[in-house]
Amino acid sequence: MTDMAGKGQGRLIAILLVAAQALLPSPAVFAAEPVYFDDSRPDVMIVGSPSYYEVGLRKSNGSIAYIKDRKAGGTVSLGSEAESLWKVEVLGGSIPEAWASEYGGGGPAGDFRYTWSAARGELTMSYTARPGVPHGVSAEVVLRASAEAYFDLRMTVRNGGSGMVTGVSFPHQLAFLESEIEEALIPGPPGLILRSGWFKAHRSWGAGAGAPFTDYLGVRTTGGGSLALYSLRTPRDFWPVKLGIAHRIEESGRHTAQLQHTFPVVVRRGDAWITPTVRVRVSQSFLETVLAARRDSDLDALPSVRQKLGDRFDAVSRAPLFHLQSDFVDRRFGEWPQLLAEIPAPALLMIAFYWPAGIHGHHPDVLPPDPAQGTLDELRAAVGAAKARGFLVMPMILPSWWHEDSPTMKSLPPPLTARDIAVIDERGEPARSPWVIGGKEDWGYNVSPYHPYVRQRLDRLFAQLEDVFQPDMVYEDVVGAERLGPDLNPSAPRAGFSAGWYDHVRERRDLRMVNEWGSDMLAESAAGFLGSMQVSWENMDRDYGAGNWRVYPVAPLLVGDKVLFYQYWASAAVGKAYLGWDLALGSMLNYALMAKHKIGPCGNEPGGWGCAPLEPMDGPWPNAIFEFQSRVASRYAGTKMTAYEDLADGVTRSVFERVSVIRNWSTQRAYAAGGHTLPPEGVLVTSASGDLTAGILTGFNGVPLSAGDHYLIAERTADAIEIRQPIGPDTDLVLRPLSDWRDLAAIRVTGYDAGGAAIAEAPATATEAGIAFAYRARLGGKDVAYYRAEPGSRAPAPAAPSVTAERPATPADAGAGDPISAALGVASLAALLLGMAILVAYRRSRRSG
């Protein structure tokens, strides 16, 4: 395009934009339509948004009669179970529950009234207990309608009875026809979609003893309707929740699935409690609602993991987690230096079970260490040797559970007792619980993190860790995994539930804590979560039924840039199923250091102590995991996951800020993408800049590879291409040349050893597809770590084709440097503006008419 033509096009665009500005109406013309309230029907009042949802509520007691998805055009929820908008659990009273359905219409509990405020878009519903009602519960519910795709619910509970309110189910069990549920999304780590087969089997689900990662439940129906609910919360202002999906058979015989959403509370007689605001989103996809939950809870504002780790971030993000314990590797502390010389560095060493008194240990008394493994000086020397080799160190502790036979518990300073320092539950009892691992059961007390003696003892513990380990990070087992419950210890600052261990992590965030399982609320302070990405599909098949579930990355979408995710400490990313799972979900990579004679036999029980997915440390896997962590997983570490989409049946794409990951979840079918072939359970990682292509492949750059799976990592710099195959058979490869390589015949391909020393040049051939050569694991009698392709000389010639990361075309791509395409673009803009002008004129004529 000539300069004159370009200037003319620019003037035309400027004229069109000025005209558009004059024609466009004020923002009010395009403002969202107002919410509406219809009180004309005899039994049901209606609140809604014209574009998104309609909620019918019974005039008799305020229960939800139905929720419609206006986009999909049908009913998405059947409303409240037992015609009750809420249910309150009461401990110690003569009546254990109070139901909203018992109010109004002459009900036994009290009166019901409602008022609508058009100015605020709020429906206020009041439930007033009659004098003498044993539970004495009164309540007020406010439904705030939004013109967008959601409405909010908030409830105030007043306890006027003799008992203690211990739970508030709100909104109480929204019901769905099981036969009409296509999928449901639950926050079981890392997030799971339950398919229609699960509902047809009439199953129920509950979050169990552990805490859910977040407060979220979502449903998509066969008619295209969708609903999700979650509470609005921040790390400094949140409340725990119990989640579930309950199967029910109604009197009519129809089977329903009901969303359980209960706040555990402690509301004493004469007190009141206000629930968090519960947001109900209608007519949006799972991805839209999960990302909305991130925004609504202001998770964007949390410090990033890069900020938390500071100058350690680059080293930590490139380091795989290697789990190290003496009985796994069958070596004492004094033998660790020889062991560590045999594995790749730098890695993050999670040092576990070094304490005395067996696997459970006498927590909090973890030091001095187990004398069977060595002395304190030997442990200190082993840690020093590891650091000298470049390893990062992360000791494991269990600060919240103290063994009842530990020296600390046996010698509490008078007059303290176990009850004084323990968490006190709602029944007034100290929290005493077992810890069971490997078939061994030990008992201890869950201590209150607020008690002065507990804080003092933990200060001593962390001082010991600093002396022996100088830790780069600290792993706290259990903290983050247990469900938050009430702590009525007198030292606790507030009744209801204890966020004390969250406060503990916040206060000690300079130690760069990694916590078990974790949650979106703990992501404010923790640097990492261990277990949130659990890869245990055998157990999931057992719990949900084979084919009834699929993974969905709720946790990474919420806080993937705020923490680093790791698998459980005894897990390993060995095998394509495990490695592909981790890469698709944005997890860092783990390996459990394990002597060959310590593995198995496991029979038919996968996972667990000494069982698959473990591989001996003298095999190829430690190096493969090291390479994939340092060169691939580190690319998405500390970045947002912005999208997760289905490309085909059983094929997904995870989109991060700098890379995208295509995962073939099928165990039967291959999948082709961008000139590469993913075998069953294969994976492909590409960078947005085009400098990385990696994965588990059977075809590369349009050329089939030799039989078997190939674990490849290809990196492109300004003047060279390096390719690694840590696992896989020898194969012929083709490299697509860099854009400025002129004479492909002058390209050299050289093999290098692990130290970066050149071994020998490999024969290479220039072809139409690129640079072809044979990748051999050994060259010149030596092991090859990688091959490097680079020009021997450069001569002017037509530019060879280059490879870039797969990405969708954008408007900026169309017509770049092409006069015809540019003219078509201007014409399209003009047509768009003309259409907008016609629309405005039409609307104005409608208003004037």
Q: How do residues 782-832 score in pLDDT, each as one tens digit? A: 999 999 999 984 333 333 333 333 333 333 333 333 333 344 344 444 454
Which residue type, as a one-letter code, is found at position 104? G
Per the CB < 8 A criterion, the answer to whether 766 and 745 are in contact is yes
Model pLDDT, residue 848: 40
Residue 632 CA to residue 625 CA, distance in Å, equals 10
Model pLDDT, residue 660: 99
- Neighbour-count burial for 636-664, b at 16+ CB within 10 Å, e otherwise: bbbbbbeebeeeeebbbbbbbeebbbbbb
Lowest mean pLDDT among 8-17, 551-560, 699-708: 8-17
Model pLDDT, residue 613: 65
Mean pLDDT within 31-52:
91
Could you give the C-alpha distances from 75 to 61, 64, 839, in angstroms and in order? Answer: 21, 12, 32
Task: Report the Cα 395 to chain-centroid distance in Å.
Answer: 24
- Neighbour-count burial for 259-291, b at 16+ CB within 10 Å, e otherwise: bbbbbbbbbeeebebebbbbbbbbbbebbebbb
Model pLDDT, residue 755: 95
* % of the chain residues with pLDDT over 70: 86
Give the angle 341-345-351 at the CA atoms, nearest 5°: 80
Mean pLDDT within 309-318:
98
Model pLDDT, residue 539: 77
Average pLDDT, whole number, for the chain? 88
Q: How confident is the model at residue 570 (pLDDT cuts 50, 70, 90)?
A: low
Q: How do residues 716-728 score in pLDDT, each as one tens digit? A: 999 999 999 999 9
Q: DSSP of 201-224, one letter per residue?
A: TT--EE--SBPPSSS-EEEEETTS
Mean pLDDT within 232-252:
92
Q: Which residues contact 201 (CB under 8 A, 6 or more apart)?
A: 545, 548
Q: How do residues 260-295 score in pLDDT, each as one tens digit? A: 999 999 999 999 999 999 999 999 999 999 999 999
* Residue 79 or 601, more confident: 79
Q: Which of 229, 305, 216, 266 is nearest to 484 (CA)?
A: 266
Q: How do residues 29-40 score in pLDDT, each as one tens digit? A: 334 579 999 999
Mean pLDDT within 229-244:
93
- Would you state the structure tokens that stand for residue 229, as one six-digit string? 């609910």
CATH of domain 305-395+450-636: 3.20.20.80
Mean pLDDT within 832-843:
46
Q: Which of 233, 153, 155, 220 is nearest to 186 (CA)?
A: 220
Mean pLDDT within 717-745:
97
Fold of 36-301: Beta-galactosidase; Chain A, domain 5 (2.70.98)
Residue 65 CA to residue 81 CA, distance in Å, equals 9
Mean pLDDT within 746-767:
97
* % of the chain residues with pLDDT over 90: 76
Does the structure show a pLDDT above 60 at 12?
A: no
- Would you state the structure tokens that stand for residue 103, as one six-digit string? 């109010």
Whose tokens are 């509470």? That residue is 231
Q: Which residues contact 165 (CB under 8 A, 6 or more apart)?
A: 88, 89, 90, 91, 137, 157, 159, 265, 266, 267, 273
Model pLDDT, residue 535: 66
Q: Which residues contact 839 (CB under 8 A, 6 or more apart)?
A: none
* Residue 196 or 836, more confident: 196
Per the CB < 8 A criterion, the answer to whether 680 and 752 are in contact is no
Mean pLDDT within 72-99:
95
Q: Which of 534, 590, 615, 527 is nearest to 563 (CA)?
A: 527
Q: How confident is the model at residue 104 (pLDDT cuts 50, 70, 90)?
A: very high
- Strands of 283-407 (E only): list them: 321-324, 348-351, 392-397, 401-403
DSSP annotation of 199: H
Per the CB < 8 A criterion, the answer to whether 474 and 397 are in contact is yes
Residue 412 CA to residue 447 CA, distance in Å, equals 13
Could you give the C-alpha distances from 470 to 383, 473, 576, in angstroms and in order? Answer: 9, 9, 35
Does the structure show a pLDDT above 70 at 457?
A: yes
Could you give the C-alpha distances from 636 to 639, 654, 656, in angstroms and in order? Answer: 5, 11, 6
Q: What H or E segment, with its residue span, contains residue 88?
A: strand 87-91
Model pLDDT, residue 15: 43
Which residue type, as a one-letter code, is found at position 844? R
SS in 3 state form for 429-477? Answer: CECEEEEEECCEEEEEEEECCCCHHHHHHHHHHHHHHHHHHCCCCEEEC
The CATH 2.70.98.90 domain(s) of the chain lie at 36-301
Which residue type, as a one-letter code, is found at position 709? D
Whose tokens are 């109406």? That residue is 25
Q: Please, what is the end-to-end C-alpha distance for the chain in angstroms?
A: 49
Residue 720 CA to residue 24 CA, distance in Å, equals 52
Does the structure show a pLDDT above 60 at 610?
A: no
The CATH 3.20.20.80 domain(s) of the chain lie at 305-395+450-636
Q: How confident is the model at residue 843 (pLDDT cuts 50, 70, 90)?
A: very low
Lowest mean pLDDT among 112-116, 247-251, 378-382, 612-616: 612-616
Model pLDDT, residue 595: 83
Q: How confident is the model at residue 575 (pLDDT cuts 50, 70, 90)?
A: confident
Model pLDDT, residue 251: 84
Model pLDDT, residue 840: 42
486 cis-preceded (ω within 30 degrees of 0) = no
Residue 453 CA to residue 472 CA, distance in Å, equals 26
